Amino acid sequence: DLRRQEERGELLQPLVFALLVLGSVLLYFKVSLMDPGFVQPEEEAGNIEEKSMLIPQLPSNIKMRRCGYCMVKQPMRARHCQLCQRCVRRYDHHCPWIENCVGERNHRLFIAYLGLQLVVLLWGAQVAWSGLYFEQSWKWLQHNFFLLTSFLLIIIFTIVVLLLLVSHLYLISCNTTTWEFMSHHRISYLRHSELENPFDQGVILNLWRFFC
C-alpha cells in the first residue's frame, strides 16, 4: 500500500510512517541513555515524618536504610540494580531491551516509547499483510518467504509490546511498580503496611500523578 501511494505521488502516509519509525528510534535512545533516577551519594533520603505525611498508612517502625552495595541512603521505593550498580528511585525493573533501568525519571518516556512502538508495529503488520497474496504453491512460498517471515515476526513483537504496555498501564493505575508487584512479600514498607498497597490513591489520581 505504501509503495502504491508513493508511485501515485501520495507521500503523506509514507512520510507519517517514516516519522513514526524515526520517533520510536529517537525515543528508544532517549530512554536507553538517560538517567533513570539514580540516587546520588550526596542526596538525603527524606525522613520518616515526611514519608508518613505522604503515606499515612506507613508503619512508624519502618526505617530508611543504607544500601549495602553502594552505601547511599535509599529513598522509599528505591532499589539497587545489580546490573547498573546504582540505586534507582522508584525502581520498576531493569529492561534488557534498552539496557537500562526503568525508574522515576524515564518511566513515562518508556510508556510513550512502548505506545509509539505498538503503533509502528501495527502499521508495519498492515503494510506487510497488504503485500501478501496467498497461493498454494512452492514457487509462491519461495518468492514471498521473506515477506511472510517478516509479517510473522512483526505479529510476535506486536503481541509482546501490547502485553508489556497493558501490564505497565495496569500497574501505573494501581500506583505500584513491577518490582513491588513481584516482590511484595520481601519489601519491608509493604510487608508491614496495614494496606496491601499504601501508595494507591485511586485509578484517576494514580494516572494523573504519573503522567501529569
Which residues participate in catalysis according to the annotation?
95
Amino acid found at 26: L
Q: Are 168 and 108 in contact (CB under 8 A)?
A: no
Tell me, letter by letter, the H, E, C secondary structure of the chain. CHHHHHHCCCCHHHHHHHHHHHHHHHHHHHHHHCCCCECCCCCCCCCHHHHHHHCCCCCCCCCCCECCCCCCECCCCCEEECCCCEEECCCCEEECCCCEEECCCCHHHHHHHHHHHHHHHHHHHHHHHHCCCCCCCHHHHHHHHHHHHHHHHHHHHHHHHHHHHHHHHHHHHCCCCHHHHHCHHHCHHHHCCCCCCCCCCCHHHHHHHHHC
